[in-house]
Structure 1
Amino acid sequence: MSFNASSSSQPTKSVNEGLDSSDNIFSYLLTLTPDELNLLYGHTWTCKAVFRFLPDIAKQYVMRMLLCGSINSQQIAMDIPKKLTNLSGYLDSNGAKKGREQDQEAILQEVRDAHENAFSQLLKYRIISKTSNSDFTLNRYFQDTFRNLVTSVPSAQAPTTSHSSSHKRKEQEPETSISEENMDELEPKKKKRKKHKTKEIGAEFLQEYSKRKWENVLLYLVGTAAESEQTFSGNVNELLKYSQLIKKSDTVRITNEGFQFLLQETKVQVWKLLKHYLETSGQRNQVKNEILNFIFELGFLDVGKEYSSKDLTSTQKSLLVDFNDLGIIYLHRDKKKKIKDKYFFPTPLAKSLTVSMSTSYDLISSFGSHNSINNGYIIVETNYRVYAYTNSPLQIALLSLFIFPEYRLPNMVVGLITRSTIREALKNGISAHQILQFLRLNAHPQMRLKKPVIPDTVSDQILLWEKERNRVIKTTSVVYDKFTNVSELNATVDYARRQGALLWHSEEKMMMVCKREFHGLMKEFISSQYSR
């Protein structure tokens, strides 16, 4: 049986869907060159994260090749079961019943597809490569790093060199005499350095902090960020401009891409900004693979625990302030409200950066532009009136993109969907489909009981308002008239049609209209055919 990198079988478990999604950190690895990826596989955290999201069968093959480095293609063929009796390792506890009820060949094909998918993933991420004799070899960089990780003794169980040497020194040193102690007392005493006390912060606080920080980024795009929260680091400001979400002149203005960005899911928004951050790393003199490795590392750290930045590289230390502004980590402030970056706390958002995209950001309370199903807050009536049970500035700002707010109550906003508000939203680059999707995703639980969720009268009218804008298409054109007879007009029309330049013609009015970019050709043709 042959294994190709182009195969597209589905993973055996939904947790592995994260590798195939186009909007996560793993998809970015596919854009790296082989040298960049090999350099990245020299880091422990990257290898751990990639291994964690491989299909189960792929993990088995990695572990089998870890010490020997390669596997024979004939051995792989033996691993794939030929009969249903060999499927005990693939079926659940009621596998026998499942085998009787389902077609045996279909089950066997499912297992073959699982093997095919496993090797497809391993080849795609260059964890293995195929040799000339069709054997498979494990990536040397991945093998060295992961083998050291698996075979090394955890540092908590092995005494450090400094600890054992100091212990021996204490045993060998003689007791200090009284006179020496008295001499020490005469020496000026050095000021003892205050020992840092390890702190812990509650997960709820960090969750609210990351939510507030990320919402502030979105509010900044909308132009309604709180005065005290408008200051981002220079890198984050440049990042928002580079991503073409805003443009700066006298004031900050959101672009068409920015409007569309606001209506996307939070998990997509976070990763899009991080991709732009990686693309611009060279401009900030940062090492791309160190940024990626730090993101992978954050996925393994405990939320609420304090971590020192002492062992971070210079690139990773420069990330701390920027990631603090994005709500990915939390940094302490001193009494003067100045950020201290000696220690940092990962937030739930940091933990979610390397989880499967099938596991939504709902695990950190689904903040941002979308709420979880149980927390929907929008009711849309057939008379185009919208009731939003929220006091979130971000959610209100998002609704204001396509509704006219009429009333503002402590915990509710009442607005109206009108032709002018929808046309304004369409002008800013938001499509009717995006508006309807936003309303469905954030619909109140009572609204979800109805089918369809959004009344047909409202959804159909929004789509019709969008089609209104597409009835007339502007095209820069040139008018040709004053033809002496119909045959001249028809000959010119035929030539223009063959060139793809014709827009309109009329024998009654003896005139024709062509696209502006073909004016040179048309002028040359008319001059050569009808010059007098």
Structure 2
Amino acid sequence: MPQVRIVARNFMDMVASLPASKLDKLYDNSFICEAILRSLPPLAKKYVLQLLYIDGPVTAKLLEEWVIPDGVSKHKVAIDRLIQLRVLSETLDRKKEATYRLNPTFQINLQKHILHGGILPREPMPSNVTVRLPSLEDLDAYAVQQWECFLLHLINSAEAEKSTNISSSMMKVFQRCLLSQKDDREPPKLTESGFQFLLMETSAQLWYIIREYISNSEEHGVDTADLIAFLLELSFHVTGEAYNVNTLTDVQRRIIKDLADLGLVKLQQGRKESWFIPTKLATNLSISLADSSSRKQGFVVVETNFRMYAYSTSKLHCEILRLFSRIEYQLPNLIVGSITKESLNKAFESGITSEQIISFLQQNAHPRVAEKIPSVPENVTDQIRLWESDLNRVEMDPAHLYDEFPSRDVFEAACDFAREYGGLLWENSKKMRLVVKPLPPSRNSHHHCAIATTIAQQLQPTWANLAHHKEFPSRSVISLVQLEEYLQVLEFLGHNTAKSVRVDVENSQIWTPAASEQRLRTRTLQRSKIIFRFFTLRSFKMYTALQKIHKDRDAEPTEFEETVAQALFDLENTNQEIKSDLRDLYINSAMQIDVSGSKKAVAIHVPYRLRKSFRKIHPRLVRELEKKFSGKEVVFIATRRILRPPKKGSAIKRPRTRTLTAVHEAMLEDIVYPAEISGKRIRYRLDGSKIMKVFLDPKAKNDTENKLETFAGVYRKLSGKDVVFEFPITEA
């Protein structure tokens, strides 16, 4: 799972990271000094005000005396913060004791601001010029709407495209901070960082965008100090008042247009002049993170059954909830959904973590449930964490498995070469199998070709030439069927040339694309991962069959099971209708059952977890297999295990699905599929034996009427019980 994380810092954290020269330049502005003072922790503010009119340095011991013993930790935090912002400078006196002194530029400008106070960065426009100013409520609604449109644009919502246009400079900010990736042929898409960004608080999102905007502007020649100074000046403007755009510089005008996209200001045009109106988002820029994280109105209610109700009219809220939940209903003021494993796995793959989802649900909890502890049910939060941990239990590393060796000498030679090369991971001398690890791309091809050549030298001359010259033998050695099967195996293994070649049936050659579209003799074994399976025609055919059957405990398949597996493999490569569905399917076992007289049936056991996949193609697959087995009726049964009853007094309980009765009942449903069982009746004979009569749904009568005898014979063979299948008689 991706480990991408966004570190959200507030505006003052970014200011503290500026070089010393730029910080000193910022402190030439008295409004910046006041903004810095506002952002400081309470104890740091106290230190600044007490040192404001002290011209000389103050010892560290004196500052420590201003703090009670319980506040030592807060004292260290305050001092560190002041030093980071270069408000305090630390030096050593003659006795080599630490002393602190206020930054002279900061001290002088803050003194002037306190003495003269009440001066605004610029005067608002007279009311007779601006007659259509929005109210504070309308301005707040505008800021929220702009910010939501901005976030909807990140999700690539069609509604956002219609409602707003984001400037090109802001789009560069998105690309810079990895909120969206843009390809020339594809629309912008959210990255892993972008998904995490959407779950942040509004204040953290704003600070993150502003920080990236400043970094992007610096690369285009805009002075960082001037840009930060202008942003902090905005926090001293009065919310709802209009300010003339003509009082701004050309750079500041471009900045104002970008800030309008974020909802920090609102631009209005009059008959002769234009003005901007700051919103609460702009006036809160200089407030510290702790002060700005006030409780916002929540809207989400999560129940213990994983149902989720969001009382909101915001399209943004709906899109954010869709990231990690399944939306079922969307009413004008209510969003109904549920948290499922599938929706969460999709979120985890996008880079969202379980803690971010839980934090989002807790921070946006409805007031009625926010007062409860916990606001989100514990079983929901625990299950979200468990589903995330399921994805991190096993780490997958690529490897290559080789088997089907023609002799033990060849197997030992391959093991020695792989061991000498340092790529041997596992070997089984009894079954002649080995697993090697892949090397870097530059060496991987050479590694496998060397192993293939080493083994091929000990084989027939024809196959040795095949490995060395990487060409197909003549028609007398390899048939057209082998050529076609060879290409199918190449495609199955992901060979880089399998999708660009085809067989010329008439001349027993292979076509490859060329600039002049000429017919060429192929050289396809440049990355020969399958030479081990291509030693002889027999071993190659065994490979095609063995991949469609997985026996329990690696038991050897019978001759009939190999025939069934080969039939499935042939269908996968020749029948385009079910080719894709059969690709990942395999069987556990197969057997031929005598039904009555000369009539026989084929019973195929499939893995229990693949039973639904087999049922999707059941009618088509049965029809094709019955053609291959000369009309023998085919039945698919899921493999189930019966457990013995636990001993008396044992704490271990046997699942109901593993009892003899439950397995036989489930087996009965598999045998009659696609017909459904509509009723059962058990009758006892005079001798004490019993017979079960099963009634099938009449809807499947046309497809299964001729197979009732087969169903009974297969069930008798597998369970030892007699059963009679009938269709209920309906009155005309």
Report the TM-score, using the length of structure 1 for normalisation: 0.69
| Corresponding residue of 1:70 | 56
| Corresponding residue of 1:355 | 287
**In the alignment, structure 1 residue 432 sits paired with structure 2 residue 354:** yes
Tell me how far apart the structure 2 counterparts of residues 153 and 25 of structure 1 sit (CA, whole Å): 24
The CA deviation at 1:29 is 1.9
| Corresponding residue of 1:287 | 223
The CA deviation at 1:281 is 0.8
Question: Residue by residue, what CA displacement relative to the aligned partner does 1:69-91 show, whole Å, maximum 9, x if unpaired?
Answer: 43142xx534644xxxxx8xx7x
| Corresponding residue of 2:156 | 223
Unmatched 5+ stretches in structure 2? 1-6, 121-126, 458-732
Name the SS for the 2:236 alignment partner: coil
CA contact (8 A) 1:478 1:516 kept: no
1:448/1:42 CA distance change after superposition, 3 Å? closer
One-letter identity of the residue aligned with 2:105: Y
Q: How does 1:307-322 map to 2 (within 5 A)?
A: 307-322=243-258
One-letter identity of the residue aligned with 1:31: S
Is the radius of gyration larger for structure 1 or structure 2? 2
The equivalent position to 1:269 in structure 2, one of 205, 212, 220, is 205
CA contact (8 A) 1:36 1:289 kept: yes
CA contact (8 A) 2:91 2:99 kept: yes
The CA deviation at 1:459 is 3.8
Tell me how far apart the structure 1 counterparts of residues 375 and 275 of structure 2 sit (CA, whole Å): 47
1:507/1:433 CA distance change after superposition, 3 Å? farther
1:514/1:118 CA distance change after superposition, 3 Å? same
CA contact (8 A) 1:301 1:351 kept: yes
| Corresponding residue of 2:506 | none
Q: How does 1:29-44 map to 2 (within 5 A)?
A: 29-44=15-30
1:486/1:464 CA distance change after superposition, 3 Å? farther
The CA deviation at 1:454 is 3.6
The CA deviation at 1:229 is 1.9
CA contact (8 A) 1:477 1:516 kept: no
Name the SS for the 2:79 alignment partner: helix
CA contact (8 A) 1:486 1:510 kept: no
**In the alignment, structure 1 residue 28 sits paired with structure 2 residue 18:** no
Name the SS for the 1:130 alignment partner: strand
1:293/1:441 CA distance change after superposition, 3 Å? same
One-letter identity of the residue aligned with 1:427: E
**In the alignment, structure 1 residue 143 sits paired with structure 2 residue 77:** no
The equivalent position to 2:39 in structure 1, one of 53, 60, 81, is 53
CA contact (8 A) 1:377 1:443 kept: yes
| Corresponding residue of 1:205 | 138
1:333/1:520 CA distance change after superposition, 3 Å? same
Question: Residue by residue, what CA displacement relative to the aligned partner does 1:364-394 show, whole Å, maximum 9, x if unpaired?
Answer: xx4xxxxx3xx33333341x33222222111
CA contact (8 A) 2:239 2:280 kept: yes
1:37/1:419 CA distance change after superposition, 3 Å? same
The CA deviation at 1:299 is 1.8
Name the SS for the 1:70 alignment partner: coil
The CA deviation at 1:292 is 0.9
1:511/1:50 CA distance change after superposition, 3 Å? same
1:79/1:280 CA distance change after superposition, 3 Å? closer
Q: How does 1:162-241 map to 2 (within 5 A)?
A: 196-197=129-130, 201-224=134-157, 225-241=159-175
Tell me how far apart the structure 2 counterparts of residues 410 and 299 of structure 1 sit (CA, whole Å): 36
Tell me how far apart the structure 2 counterparts of residues 205 and 334 of structure 1 sit (CA, whole Å): 19
1:397/1:141 CA distance change after superposition, 3 Å? same
**In the alignment, structure 1 residue 405 sits paired with structure 2 residue 327:** yes
Q: How does 1:455-494 map to 2 (within 5 A)?
A: 455-477=377-399
| Corresponding residue of 1:168 | none
The equivalent position to 2:195 in structure 1, one of 254, 259, 263, is 259
One-letter identity of the residue aligned with 2:437: C
The equivalent position to 2:242 in structure 1, one of 299, 303, 306, is 306
| Corresponding residue of 2:277 | 345
Question: Residue by residue, what CA displacement relative to the aligned partner does 1:329-366 show, whole Å, maximum 9, x if unpaired?
Answer: 1111459xxxx984211101112221121233557xx4
**In the alignment, structure 1 residue 120 sits paired with structure 2 residue 77:** no
| Corresponding residue of 1:186 | none
The equivalent position to 1:513 in structure 2, one of 424, 436, 439, is 436
| Corresponding residue of 1:441 | 363
CA contact (8 A) 1:259 1:429 kept: yes
The equivalent position to 2:301 in structure 1, one of 366, 378, 392, is 378
Tell me how far apart the structure 1 counterparts of residues 83 and 370 of structure 2 sit (CA, whole Å): 43
Name the SS for the 1:254 alignment partner: coil
| Corresponding residue of 2:233 | 297
The CA deviation at 1:137 is 3.5
CA contact (8 A) 2:130 2:270 kept: no
1:154/1:211 CA distance change after superposition, 3 Å? closer
1:238/1:53 CA distance change after superposition, 3 Å? closer
One-letter identity of the residue aligned with 1:351: T
Which range moves more in the overlay, 253-262 or 145-154?
A: 145-154
The CA deviation at 1:215 is 0.5
Tell me how far apart the structure 2 counterparts of residues 30 and 79 of structure 1 sit (CA, whole Å): 22
Tell me how far apart the structure 2 counterparts of residues 396 and 45 of structure 1 sit (CA, whole Å): 40
The CA deviation at 1:293 is 1.1
Tell me how far apart the structure 1 counterparts of residues 330 and 41 of structure 2 sit (CA, whole Å): 50
The CA deviation at 1:109 is 2.0
| Corresponding residue of 1:169 | none
CA contact (8 A) 1:71 1:136 kept: yes
Tell me how far apart the structure 2 counterparts of residues 153 and 403 of structure 1 sit (CA, whole Å): 52
Between the two proteins, the alignment pairs up a number of residues equal to 428
The CA deviation at 1:328 is 0.7
The CA deviation at 1:413 is 2.2
Tell me how far apart the structure 1 counterparts of residues 27 and 386 of structure 2 sit (CA, whole Å): 52
Tell me how far apart the structure 2 counterparts of residues 61 and 433 of structure 1 sit (CA, whole Å): 37
Question: Residue by residue, what CA displacement relative to the aligned partner does 1:289-337 show, whole Å, maximum 9, x if unpaired?
Answer: 12211221122222111223344333222211111110111111459xx
One-letter identity of the residue aligned with 1:259: F
Tell me how far apart the structure 2 counterparts of residues 236 and 438 of structure 1 sit (CA, whole Å): 26
The CA deviation at 1:217 is 0.8
| Corresponding residue of 2:654 | none
One-letter identity of the residue aligned with 2:179: L
Which range moves more in the overlay, 435-444 or 475-484?
A: 475-484
1:72/1:266 CA distance change after superposition, 3 Å? closer
| Corresponding residue of 1:17 | none
CA contact (8 A) 1:388 1:413 kept: yes
CA contact (8 A) 2:269 2:275 kept: no
Tell me how far apart the structure 1 counterparts of residues 377 and 42 of structure 2 sit (CA, whole Å): 45
CA contact (8 A) 2:265 2:278 kept: yes
The equivalent position to 1:247 in structure 2, one of 181, 193, 203, is 181
Tell me how far apart the structure 1 counterparts of residues 373 and 46 of structure 2 sit (CA, whole Å): 46
Unmatched 5+ stretches in structure 1? 1-20, 82-86, 91-107, 157-193, 367-371
CA contact (8 A) 2:8 2:208 kept: no
Tell me how far apart the structure 1 counterparts of residues 282 and 174 of structure 2 sit (CA, whole Å): 20
1:343/1:78 CA distance change after superposition, 3 Å? same
Tell me how far apart the structure 1 counterparts of residues 91 and 372 of structure 2 sit (CA, whole Å): 58
| Corresponding residue of 1:420 | 342
CA contact (8 A) 1:493 1:505 kept: no
Which range moves more in the overlay, 211-220 or 313-322?
A: 313-322
